[in-house]
Structure 1
Amino acid sequence: MRKSILLLGAAFLPCILADVAVAQDAPQTPTSALAEVIVTGRPVFRNRTDDVVPTLSYDLEYFQRFEPLTVGDALRRVPSVTFLSDVLESDGVRLRGLDAGYTQILINGERVPGGGDDRSFFVDRIPAELIERVEVVRSSSANRSGDAVAGAINIVLRDAYTLDGGYIRGGAILFPDDEVGGTFGAVYGGQALGGRLLVGASVQDRRNPKDKYSQRFDRPGGTLDNTEVQTDVRSGTDYSFNADYQVDVGGGELSLSGVFVRTERLQDEDSIEYRGGREQNADLLTINDNNVDIETDNLSLRGRYEIDMLGGETRFKLGYASFDDHQSEFENEAEYLRDAIAFPDEDRFTADFEIRDLQDEEWSGALEHTRPLNETTEIEFGVQAVQKDRESITDLATRIRFTVPNTPAPRPVQPAFVFTQGTYAIEETRIDPYVMLSGETGALKWEAGLRYETTDTTIAGIDNDYAELLPSASLRYTLNDTDRLIVSAGRTIRRPKFNDLAPGTLEEERGDNDFRGNPLLEPETAWGADVGIERRLGLDGVVGLNVFYRDVTNLIEDVNTGLQGSGGAGTFIESIDNVGDGQVYGVEFDLSTSLTFAGMENTGVFLNASWLDSKVEDVLGERRFNDQSDYVVNVGFTHDIPTWQAAFGATYRKQGDAFGRVYAEEVTTSYGADLEVFLEKRLFDNAVVRLTAINLLDSAKDEVFDKFADQDDQIARNYDEYELETETAGPVVQLVMRLAF
């Protein structure tokens, strides 16, 4: 934490000590705090951007009335965004249904490190209160990192020119188990230190209580072996602070920004297993208590200086980002019925304790220049560099397992834990030069460029270096006053997961089989294209249709080495390698408009629908990309009542089934529908109160697991176990008041 404070201070010190010029009138016009708080009286739609690359843009106002707690909650209303999370959770974005590692998460257009070994960033770590808008960037550009096979989500935070004045936000949250939490935030923007400054902070409670129920059979339609009743409560608090400062210095503009988010969370899972589906003490199999204590810090500091020079505009960028995650997990399990004596006598007691520390730091820098070539064409070129250092430390206690006599005597004293430590460090250096041409002639606007990404990775002392050339091109053609055509194509990349690169062998990591990483994995690459048409509806409405295709090569998939595993005969060492190709394709439709044509100018409606598909060949035949939902639909409305200074609305969301197949296991996941509503009332000239409710349909997540002893049994369909699991949660109600000043 001390390092974070020093870095933040160092970032802001130059603007305090510099010979600051008198700030000129900014070309941007800040929004008044009153206008941001009070949005009653008009529906809000998605923006129709002028970007050449196909981009969907949604301002905070689009989400704000439903009062999302996190960016993940907000993204549930965005086209083609799916999640594989638990009920009421929105963490890893699966754009177009693909694994989170295929989606690039940007903050203010810059990459950020995340805790996922697939380099993904959990968007539920960012409070929604920080965002100005969210952009879905469907295709690639040469001036942006190519880690975006599925596309990119750009989370644009408020900057110093966003707000003039301030507001506070406070409220209470009623969770499904009748626990009450709080939420508070404050933002202020205005003139300061010769420039403009925006600061914001928020604190909010999080709680997600769920019930799970599992039935395990020997095969589909076969004998019920056991059932499991489980509660899963995830509770904690999120803290955030952000600042943005912009000032004119030396003929250019200096921008400094910082964001810090701390997540404190406790995951408490308790379960009871019964044999034969008879849920009584006489058939009690196990009682399990599993707690995970989590503390995660995200820090991002950015500096940017823009100045007119060398016949154009030059940009200098410097950034620092860190992800620090500390987890301690403790699991106790008491076993019964290992003999003829039933509960309350235990037969065996097992305890596990593990401490995990993950530290990920990135330093980034860029030098970029843009200048005109003639009246219709300009060139942009530059070089972007990233230095990543990642260290994973696991302190794993030797599992304590001892037999308990079936007598009334007290349980024997638990032996002391003996810890062993596993550590691996990763260093990764990227230097990515690029060049891009863009222009506009009449109804045609276009861009085309080349990006050359070089990657030098060292993991556990083993080097893995590669370089890829990533061309891209986009054009936007205005057909008439209301319609335009957008076409884009490009090559993108997906780097291997860190854990897949680690060369060590993990025992019983894949069921009864061990897993050994492959430090020589190559990245996946994809050629892709998007073709879309967009029509303006009235003054603010828009409707769009987009078709996309991705051809992915060098797919990274599980393989069986054929070597015997630590479990002896019948177990194997699995690994991972570049095998085969795959295709991803789909159709995306989005509509947002008022109903003015029907005489309802105060009513706005929106509909997002995506049909998603893909094809991969593995040893069992053809399947989709793992866990890709086949569709996702969002539909909703808002209605304003100006005479009452009130508004209300609702949104309905449904995500299709997903199927995943790996070595010796298959899972089909189905999701229930989600209904959210809001009711808004303006109390004073500067205050509004909102009542929101989510998960009103008590959404469920159902999973079907097909488990096999090995791949031969998987092919022959000789089951080891067939499991049905259902997870449910109740509604969350929130009452929030915003007050402008």
Structure 2
Amino acid sequence: MKLGLLLGAAVAPLAFALAAPAMAQDAPAAPTTSLEEVIVTGEPVMRNRTDDVVPTLSYDLEYFQRFEPLTVGDALKRVPSVAFLSDMLEYDGVRLRGLDSAYTQILIDGERVPGAGLDRSFFVDRIPAELIDRVEVVRSSSANRSGDAVAGSINIVLRDALALDGGYIRAGALHWEDSEYGQWGGTFGAVWGGQVGPGRLLIGGNMQDRRNPKDKYSVRYDEPGGTIQNTEIQTDVRDGTDYSFNADYTVDVLGGELRLSGLFVRTDRYQDEDSLEYEDGIEDAAHLSVVNDNDLDILTDNLSLNARYRREMFGGETTFKLGYASIDDDQYEFEGESEYLRDAITFPDEDRYTLDATDSQIQDEEYSAAIEHKIDLGNDLELEFGVQWNDKTRDTNITEAPRIRFNVPNAPGVRPTVPAFGAFTPVLGGLGTIEETRLDPYIMLSGENGPLKWEAGLRYESTETTITDLTAAPADQVTDNDYGEFLPSASLRFRLNETDRITFSAARTVRRPNFNQLSPVTLEEEFGDSDFMGNPNLEPETAIGFDLGFERRLGRRGVVGINAFYRDVDNLIEETNTGAEGSAGPGTFIYTVDNVGSGKVYGLEFDLSTPLDFVGLPSTGVFLNYSWLDSEITDFIGERRFNSQSDYVLNLGFTHDIPTWDLAFGATYREQGDAYSRVLAEEVRTTYGGDLEIFVEKQVSSNVVLRFTGSNLLDSSKDEVFDKFGSIADQISRDYDEYEIETESSGPVYQLVMRVAF
């Protein structure tokens, strides 16, 4: 992080110094005024119809803003084909087209961002919605972007220095109904943009309280339809505050344009899980078997600094880019468990008390650079080529304290004083370093000929990965994983007439192995009673994908479209049996992962966004998007879908403006289909209830608007069914270790926000 700050501190003064000769030049054209973002416009805000050749859906912040999303995840849940497999009221890992988050590429201003997860995915709930200018869903791939986009890409475009002339303040209160009188929180943000020195500056800050209270109830059987073994009543409250700061400075320098930008986001969160477990499903003191207190303290800092210089040279336009991004993630988990039925004496006399603690620290730094050049070849042809470089270093330090346990059979009374934990020591595979270097050259040709617009390109991605495990015995273990992939891509857009057009795209993309899959550390009893060992020789999954879409303009502002997609995925990374006996003895094995088999992903995506001009209601807007999702894969048991892919995603809603009253209101409804997952020794089926949200807004004065929103008004729930087995053989024969049904529910969230422009 310190190196990144030094980079920003060094570049900023240089920008001002270089800009001095340009101070006499004309100032940039007046940008968009902030007043348009806070007043009632008197007409609905629709999806943008982009001019991109690659099929892209674009949504300005105003499209989401009336429902006052707190995070980018809250906003993305309304766009086509975006699914989440999170807890209630949480929208973190984007599952575009229902696929695992690692199949979706998250970009900020068109650039890759590192994620803290082992699968490289980035949690979009870390970015406040107030920072964004627009969100783009890019359905296919281009040669000038990273190829880690099997399902597609989400590009989060932040406001730049040309976005505002003036500023606004946002202040509000949130209310959660998880106690007798509820819980209150606050939200505050401010953004300003204007001329500073020779260039334009935009700065913004945001603070918002985050709370996610949930109730969970589990019933566990010995098998489906069998005898109840136990029930568990659990509360899960995630409480904290998110902070963010962003800045952007754009200035003319030596005949070109220099843009400096930075983003800092802090997530400070505390998760408190408490549960009571009852034997035989009888929920009284005599059957209380376990009381569990599980707390998790999370502090995560995300920093991103970027410099871009663009100018005319060498017969075209050249762009130089430098970037730095870091994640500092610190999580401390504490678990205390009391057991009561290890003897004949029931609650409140305790038989055993166990304490565990784990400290997980991940520090991830990425440096990036790129040189890109565009040349106009004439006859509406353009050639673009360049090279992009990225260097990642991730240090992982996961340690645990020696377990503390008190056995107090038949001894009622006060538990002995708990001593302090002893020295924390690394868990197996928890201490080490990952170094990854990428060098990706590309070339792309694009053109336009009457109604036809197209692009075609080729990208080569070379990756060198070194994983050092400092917990291996008898010495440190270093593994290398190097590979290269050619990624061709092509897209075209054909204009049929003034309102209709067809798009087609084809691209080869990749999904890189998870970091934990590459390290050959053996983890005992990771799958039931069997062990797991990583494979340093894994290659990335690759996919050939096609998108075919039709889009029609409706009236002046409306748009309707349908898109079919198909992905043929090769080199799938799946669990396999090494045949070696596991640590638990005969009947158990050591499993690993390997590139085996192939899979198919396909579906249809429909979206409609239009005002009702044609029925005389220009101030009423409706939106509807529905995505039907499916896939095929063969695993160790047989055919299934890709793990946890939802059947469908549905969003529908309306907004209505009453300009004469300076008033607007609207509602949106979201529903996500069932998802099924099958891994070694466990299968999960997940179902979500529908989510209803509403808003009412009133323009108080020419520059002040007051908005009330309510979300999760249907008290939606998440229901999961777990099939658990002791071994793979038991899973195949359906000899159950446990069958569990769990329901998670949460109440409504209300928000009252005022925006003031200046």
TM-score bucket (shorter structure): over 0.9
The separation in 2 between residues aligned to 1:24 and 1:593, in whole angstroms, is 42
Q: Which residue of 2 aligns with 1:497?
A: 514
Deviation at 1:408, TM superposition (A): 2.7
Question: In the alignment, residue 582 of structure 1 is paired with which amino acid?
Answer: G
DSSP 3-state at the match of 1:85:
coil
Shift of 1:237: 0.4
Corresponding position of 2:150: 149
Match of 1:417 among 422, 435, 440: 422
| CA deviations over 1:70-97 (Å, ceiling 9, x no partner) | 0000001110000000000000000000
**What is the SS of the residue equivalent to 2:543?**
strand
Q: 2:329 aligns with which of 325, 331, 334?
A: 325
For the pair 1:367 / 2:371, whether they are aligned, the reply is: yes
Tell me which amino acid in the other structure corresponds to 2:456.
Answer: A
Alignment of 1:668 onto 2:685: yes
- 1:677 is the counterpart of 2:694: yes
Residue among 716, 720, 723 paired with 2:733: 716
- Kindly indicate whether residue 188 of structure 2 is the aligned counterpart of residue 184 of structure 1: yes
CA displacement at 1:14 relative to structure 2: 1.4
* Structure 2 contact 343–409 (Cα < 8 Å) conserved: no
SS at match of 1:8: helix
How far apart are the structure 2 equivalents of 1:63 and 1:651? Answer: 11
1:449 to 452, 457, 466: 457
1:8-64: CA deviation from partner (whole Å, max 9, x where unpaired): 322322113324313755776511111111143010000000000000000000000
Q: Provide the C-alpha distance between the structure 2 equivalents of 1:507 and 1:344, rounded to a whole number of angstroms.
A: 35
Rounded Cα–Cα distance in structure 1 between residues aligned with 2:64 and 2:119: 28
Partner in structure 1 of residue 71 of structure 2: 70
* Structure 1 residue 413: Cα displacement: 4.2
SS at match of 2:327: strand
Indicate if the aligned counterparts of 2:567 and 2:602 stay in contact, CA closer than 8 A.
yes
On the 8 A contact 1:135/1:154 being kept in 2, the answer is yes
Change (3 A) 1:471 1:498: same
Aligned counterpart, 2:360: 356
Code of the aligned partner of 1:313:
E
Deviation at residue 400 of structure 1 after TM alignment? 2.4
> Which letter maps to 1:476?
R
1:633 is aligned with what amino acid?
L
The residue type equivalent to 1:417 in the other structure is G
Contact 1:40-1:647 at 8 Å conserved across structures: no
2:742 alignment partner in structure 1 = 725
Alignment match, 1:704: 721
Residue in 2 that maps onto 1:465: 482
Secondary structure class of the residue paired with 1:373: strand
What is the CA–CA distance in structure 2 between the aligned matches of 1:443 and 1:273, rounded to whole Å? 67
Q: CA RMSD in A?
A: 1.3
Q: Distance in 2 between matches of 1:701 and 1:19?
A: 55
Q: Mind listing any 5+ residue stretches in structure 1 that lack a counterpart? A: none
* TM-score, length basis structure 2: 0.96
Paired with 2:208 and 2:369, the residues of 1 have a C-alpha distance of 33
1:16 aligns to 2:16 (yes or no): yes
Within 1, Cα distance between the matches of 2:26 and 2:554?
Answer: 34
Aligned with 2:597: secondary structure? coil
With the length of structure 1 as denominator, give the TM-score of the two structures.
0.98
Find out whether 1:687 has 2:692 as its counterpart.
no
Moved more, 500-509 or 457-466: 500-509
- Which 10-residue stretch deviates more, 543-552 or 26-35? 26-35
Amino acid at match of 2:191: V
Q: Is the 8 A contact 2:4 2:305 kept in 1?
A: no
CA positional deviation for 1:507? 2.6
Contact 2:528 2:725 in 1 (8 A): no
Residues 23 and 195, structure 1, Cα contact 8 Å, conserved in 2? no
Cα distance in 2 for residues equivalent to 1:584 and 1:290: 38
What residue number does 1:121 align with?
122
The percent of aligned pairs where both chains have the same amino acid is 69
Return 5+ residue gaps in structure 2 as ranges: 469-477
Query: Which amino acid is 1:337 matched to?
Result: L
- 1:641 matched residue in structure 2: 658
Letter in 1 for 2:652: V
Counterpart Cα distance in 1 of 2:245 and 2:175: 25
Cα distance in 1 for partners of 2:627, 2:666 equals 22
For residue 574 of structure 2, the aligned residue among 544, 557, 561 is: 557
Stretch of structure 1 that moved more, 684-693 or 552-561: 552-561
* 3-state SS in 2 of match to 1:519: coil
> 2:116–2:329: 8 Å Cα contact kept in structure 1?
yes
Q: Secondary structure at the match of 1:245?
A: strand
**Structure 2 residue 438 is the aligned partner of structure 1 residue 437:** no
Indicate if the aligned counterparts of 1:494 and 1:523 stay in contact, CA closer than 8 A. yes
The 2-side partners of 1:342 and 1:56 are apart by 60
Q: Report 1:19-38 matches (<5 A).
A: 19-20=19-20, 21-22=22-23, 24-25=25-26, 29-38=30-39
Distance in 2 between residues matched to 1:4 and 1:330, nearest whole Å = 33
CA deviations over 1:395-446 (Å, ceiling 9, x no partner):
1122223312322343234454342123111000000000000000000000
Cα deviation code 1:211-239 (max 9, x no counterpart): 00000001110001100000000010000
Alignment partner of 1:219 is 2:219: no
Report the equivalent of 1:586. Answer: 603
Question: 2:121 is matched by which residue type in structure 1?
Answer: S
Amino acid at match of 1:381: F
Letter in 2 for 1:653: R
Query: What amino acid maps onto 1:441 in structure 2?
Result: N
Q: Deviations over 1:462-508 (max 9, x none)?
A: 11100000000000000001000000001000000011112212233
CA offsets per residue over residues 549-573 of structure 1, 9 Å max, x none? 0000000112232333333344332
2:434 counterpart (426, 430, 445): 426
Using the alignment, how far apart are the partners of 2:30 and 2:515 within structure 1? 44
1:500-649 matched pairs, under 5 angstroms: 500-649=517-666
Rate the CA distance shift 1:644–1:102 in 2: closer, same or farther, 3 A: same
Kindly provide the amino acid, as one letter, of the partner of residue 12 in structure 1. Answer: A
Give 2:568's aligned amino acid.
Answer: D
Residue 471 of structure 2: aligned partner: none
Which residue is equivalent to 2:51?
A: 50
Q: Which moved more, 1:250-259 or 1:402-411?
A: 402-411
Aligned with 2:15: secondary structure?
helix
> Residues 527 and 727 of structure 2 are in contact (CA less than 8 Å); yes or no, is this contact kept in structure 1?
no
Matches within 5 A, 1:294-313: 294-313=298-317
Contact 1:444/1:476 (<8 A) preserved:
yes
Residue 387 (structure 1) aligns with: 391
Question: 3-state SS of the aligned residue for 1:701?
Answer: strand
SS of aligned partner of 1:31: coil
The code of the aligned residue for 1:685 comes to S
CA drift of 1:185 comes to 0.2
